[in-house]
Amino acid sequence: MAEAQIGRIALRVEGEMWVAYFAQNETMADAIALGSIRLHVARENEEHRRAFIDLMSAIVGDKIEEAFGMRPIWGAPNTGPEHERAGSA
């Protein structure tokens, strides 16, 4: 089966929280909130930041594998479309 990008994990700063969403490739329309972490925790500890990203990826990976029988391969992180950028953790 050919590889195809069916979505992405989008991480957004919202107030004092860093929120993870599963979103379509080029838009946040109909994005599904997955989880959040206090922004200061993600900024202060790289290990906690990485663990949060890994957990959100695993949650989406489990659901995709359950639905399609294949585990997603995550590409390199990107910053998302310019119009979405509001800050970073």
Measure the CA–CA gap between 82 and 59, rounded to whole angstroms: 26
Edge-to-edge strand ranges of the sheet holding 32-38: 8-14, 17-23, 32-38
Q: Is the model's pLDDT at 85 over the cut of 90?
A: no
pLDDT digit string, tens, across residues 2-61: 666 778 899 999 999 999 999 988 889 999 999 999 999 999 999 999 999 999 999 999
Judge contact between 34 and 17, C-beta under 8 A. no
Instruction: Give the pLDDT of residue 79.
Output: 56
